Amino acid sequence: MIDFINFYLFPGLAIGSVYALGAVGISMIFGILRFAHFAHGDLMTVGTYGVLAAAGIIAINPLLLVPFGMALAIVVALLVDKVFYQPLRTLPTIYTVISSFGVALIFRSLVQMFWGSQNQVFNSGGVRPPLVLFDTFRISVLHVQAVLATACIAVALHFFLSRTRTGRSMRAVSDDPELAEVSGLDTEKVVRWTWIIGAALAAIAGLFVAMDTSAHPNLGWNLLMPMFAAAILGGIGKPMGAMAGGYIIGLAEELSSYHWIGNEALISPSYKTAVAFVVMIALLIVRPQGLFKGRLL
């Protein structure tokens, strides 16, 4: 049981936090702009390399440099929306979806052009020993930071969407964009805030992954499908649902490789991503609108 908690449960919560942060942006973009943003994973990579660039100049803990990555991701997202996506909004959604694939390739190529294609590791002061609780539980400090940061972000995001005027406008546009525009809401402002929130959270998620492993140009692309699964599972257009979906997918991936029966892994770790999608499909067959009754695709 101790090994289960130390090596499966806590890592599952940590990767679930990453999926949750990334899925929020995907869910909000689909809910408000009505298209699947397949460049979101690579936007995460851009934010991560923004922190990496700052870390090369300022020798402090990379977590303290996350505003640099957030700023770069936000500027890039707003610029791409202005140049690529905004002219396509009056066309069928498939045009924007295909364009997002092109944007993803542009992001990846730019990262390779400026930083190279090799893996890069953050210098965070050497190897940090795990937290030891009750002389039994050994938890990675970074995993604790990821879970706590995601919990704080979830509370702040819920407050923003439910208590602020901009947040309520975003919910209104997500529910009925035509009615919201007729009612006098500034839909372009809502779109800008959607990109700002999605890009900022993507940068944070990318940093946690890069610090746990390494930074490389395919970092965000490799996480894109699980993040989409989390967004769909939680309910499209429901940020809190996306976060819940992220944790479900993360835990499903990690716990599926635990030796539930005998001494061998129930399912090989190589198939963890497939297990997550099986869970998503099974739940959506029963509840197609997702856990939080989101928009049907």
- For residue 217, what are the domain limits? 2-115+130-286
* Cα gap 205→250, rounded to integer Å: 13
The answer to whether residue 295 sits within a structural domain is: no
Residue 124's pLDDT is what?
Answer: 59
Task: Read off the pLDDT of each residue in 162-173 and give the average, rounded to a whole number.
Answer: 90
Residue 245 pLDDT greater than 90, yes or no: yes
The verdict on residue 294 lying in a domain is no
Question: Could you give the number of structural domains in the chain?
Answer: 1
Whether the per-residue pLDDT at 107 is higher than 60: the answer is yes
Tokens of 94: 């498939």
Identify the band that residue 66 occupies on the pLDDT scale cut at 50, 70 and 90: very high
37 C-beta neighbours (distance < 10 Å), count: 27
Whether 124 is covered by a domain: the verdict is no
Rounded Cα distance between 50 and 279, Å, is 34
pLDDT at 184: 78
297 pLDDT higher than 60: no
CATH, residue 242: 1.10.3470
Q: Decide which of 200 and 188 is more confident.
A: 200
User: In this predicted model, which residue has the larger pLDDT, 1 or 10?
Assistant: 10
Could you tell me the sign of the dihedral formed by the alpha carbons of 24, 28, 30, 36, in that order?
negative
Q: What is the largest CA-CA distance in the chain?
A: 63
Bridge-based pairing of strands 131-133 and 137-139 is antiparallel
Q: For 67-80, write each residue's pLDDT tens digit.
A: 999 999 999 999 99
Quick one: pLDDT at residue 295?
A: 63
> How would residue 288 be classed by pLDDT, with cut points 50, 70 and 90?
confident
Quick one: pLDDT at residue 230?
Answer: 93
pTM above 0.75, yes or no: yes
The pLDDT of 224-246, averaged and rounded, is 91
**Could you tell me if residue 297 is inside a domain?**
no
pLDDT of residue 127: 54
Coil, strand or helix at 217: coil
Residue 120 domain flag: no
125 domain-assigned = no
Mean pLDDT of the chain: 89
Taking the C-alpha atoms of residue 200 and residue 284, their distance in angstroms, rounded to an integer, is 29
Q: Is residue 36 part of a domain?
A: yes
In this prediction, residue 282 carries a pLDDT of 83
Report d(CA 13, CA 251) in Å as an integer.
6
